[in-house]
């Protein structure tokens, strides 16, 4: 069973799920949202409130400036100590500045393997487009890794090919609107159900 199918089973099951999001400033939603909720918080709202999965836990350990190597070095603290059922990884934007795709794959593959060995499913996210020339190649490498390793794929890069400039806080980072787009891409990619409780009156 691939990880996307298994995540779907978790979402339709009754057992609480621990979700850990790890990666860079875009995961963290640092600075560029002007205080608005980032996509991880919006995901939490959908899953824990709208879908009524009140005992799920959504943990964000993203750190501004992080690369794959930082995640590898601090994997115990950032991910494994939380005993996640699902780990959603978002790195690559910073790596693409000066690291080859082959080097990036060599760093990220053992991270995925360690997370899997700890009992977590994995979802890989592609970076949004930006001015860094290697980003498209990185996005393709992440797609390939997801396919090779059976991880779920959240393809922000593909969704943002017709990106509105109003989605960016700067040329690299999504703003509040961009994070709303990312949240929609995330819930669609993972098959999160539509809201299942009535709106507040």
Tens digits of residue pLDDT in 88-99 = 999 999 999 999
In the prediction, which pLDDT does 165 show?
A: 85
Identify the band that residue 163 occupies on the pLDDT scale cut at 50, 70 and 90: confident
Q: Which two tokens stand for residue 90?
A: 């978002």
Q: What is the pLDDT of residues 110-134, one digit of tens each?
A: 999 999 999 999 999 999 999 999 9
Pick the closest to residue 142 from 101, 197, 87, 187 (CA basis): 101
> For residues 148 and 110, what is the distance between their CA atoms, to the nearest angstrom?
13
In the prediction, which pLDDT does 196 show?
A: 65
In the prediction, which pLDDT does 200 show?
A: 47
> For residues 98 and 48, what is the distance between their CA atoms, to the nearest angstrom?
38
Distances (CA, A) of 32 to 2, 38, 99, 105, 197: 34, 9, 25, 28, 31
In the prediction, which pLDDT does 201 show?
A: 35
pTM of the model: 0.95
């Amino acid at each position: 069973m691939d990880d996307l199918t298994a995540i779907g089973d978790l979402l339709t099951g009754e057992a609480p799920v621990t979700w850990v999001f790890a990666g860079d400033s875009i995961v963290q939603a640092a600075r560029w949202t002007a205080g608005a909720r980032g996509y991880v918080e919006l995901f939490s709202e959908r899953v824990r409130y709208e879908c009524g999965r009140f005992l799920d836990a959504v943990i964000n350990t993203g750190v501004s400036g992080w690369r794959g190597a930082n995640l590898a070095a601090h994997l115990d603290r950032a991910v494994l100590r939380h005993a996640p059922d699902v780990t959603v990884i978002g790195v690559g934007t910073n790596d693409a500045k000066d690291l080859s795709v082959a080097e990036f794959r060599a760093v990220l593959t053992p991270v995925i393997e360690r997370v899997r060995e700890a009992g977590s499913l994995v979802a890989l996210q592609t970076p949004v487009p930006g001015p860094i020339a290697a980003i498209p190649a990185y996005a393709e490498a992440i797609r390939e890794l997801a396919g090779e390793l059976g991880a779920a794929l959240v393809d922000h890069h593909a969704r943002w090919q017709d990106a509105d400039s109003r989605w960016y806080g700067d040329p690299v980072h999504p703003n509040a609107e961009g994070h709303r787009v990312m949240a929609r891409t995330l819930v669609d990619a993972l098959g999160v159900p539509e809201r299942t409780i009535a709106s507040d009156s």
